[in-house]
Amino acid sequence: MPSFDRARLLPGYAPFRPLSAAPEIPANPVSEHRPSPSAGFSTMQLWGALGLSVAICAVLLWKAELRVDLLRPGNAPYLVGLALTFAVRPALARTGFRWAKPASDSADYFGLFTAMALTGAVSSYPLAALSQGFADAPLQRIDEALHFHWLAWYETVAARPSLQRLGVAAYQCIYLIPAVLLAAFAIRGERREAHRFLAGFWLAALITLSLYLLMPAVGPLTYLWKGPIPYMPTSAIWQEQLIPALRAHQVGLVNLDELRGLVSAPSFHTASGVLYIAAAWRCGRLRWPLILLTLAMLLATPIEGTHYLSDMIIGAAVALAALAAAARLVERFGAAH
């Protein structure tokens, strides 16, 4: 049996080599690749998107022989309000106010959201004027294939004032929910999430308006109900009155204080609802209150928004496409600020 203590060692051979220091492994390797919450679009990118929207709206207005009178007194509150909102950041930058950054971020987010919503609402008027025909018949056939009976829903609500009040309140949450979401993102310093939400809203509006040109509709209340109307929903029946007048060039001015909802399909309330739920899911303790509020809004949408179920399905599909595209945009163009 060989004796290892007597074994000859080859020159330069060492039986035991000192271990080299192991490379340091971060405690959470995934976190190093996680984007910073402060990452987002640059100011130039945001204003570029908004400027593009306004430019498209202006071209559509010109094409449809419509205009917005910026000097009209009724339009002034909207324009002044937007100007003041965007003036908050430079004003707060010169103060030592503790909440200056969350307040200025909130003002920026609110201003961008409001400007996008207002531009989209104005754009629906020239698009209605440039559209042809109505898509109510195929939309209603889809509802029938899905066994959705809009008239039964309407009769139930029309017979119960309590449901009417709840429906109106829930339907109006389309303005409240984004305000809460954007304020929460500003307070928590989550610029990336705020910009992802705003990008999704902007893209959903673009897709919705593009599809609306192909499928204008007067809505189920006008199309299906015969006789006196026992209950007038929030959206009323403006499509039946305004769309033919716009097509006949009987309307020349678009007034910001008299904007009416003209888009039936896709349902932008539904598209917004899906966007709100996706954003609320990343909103911590506010997640379930905001999701429940959004679900209530969606339940009210068929009647208060006078929408076919098919409108809502298309609106949900629009939102999913916008969410996917917005995530890619933030990933590609968002940077830490």
Other beta carbons less than 10 A from residue 11's beta carbon: 5
pLDDT of the residue at 35: 64
Taking the CA atoms of residue 271, residue 274, residue 279 and residue 285 in that order, the dihedral angle to the nearest 10 degrees is: 140
Amino acid at 254: V
- Measured over the CA atoms of residue 324, residue 43, residue 279 and residue 272, the dihedral's sign is negative
Strand-pairing partners, residue 40, are 335
pLDDT of 91: 81
| Per-residue pLDDT of the chain in tens (337 residues, 90 and over written 9) | 444 444 444 444 444 445 444 555 455 544 445 667 767 888 899 999 999 999 999 999 999 999 999 889 999 998 898 888 888 878 886 777 878 888 999 999 999 999 999 999 999 999 999 999 999 999 999 999 999 999 999 999 999 999 999 999 999 999 999 999 999 999 999 999 999 999 999 999 999 999 999 999 999 999 999 999 999 999 999 999 999 999 999 999 999 999 999 999 999 999 999 999 999 999 989 999 999 999 999 999 999 999 999 999 999 999 999 999 999 999 888 765 5
CB 136 within 8 A of CB 219: yes
What's this model's pTM, rounded to 2 decimal places?
0.87
Question: Which tokens go with 53?
Answer: 């929207």
**Secondary structure E strands in the chain:** 39-40, 335-336
How confident is the model at residue 5, as a pLDDT? 44
What is the reported pLDDT for 98?
Answer: 79
All structural domains of the chain with their residue ranges: 41-330
Entry field: residues in the chain: 337
If we measure between CA atoms, which residue out of 85, 284, 317 comes closest to residue 181? Answer: 284
Q: Strand, coil or helix: what is 40?
A: strand
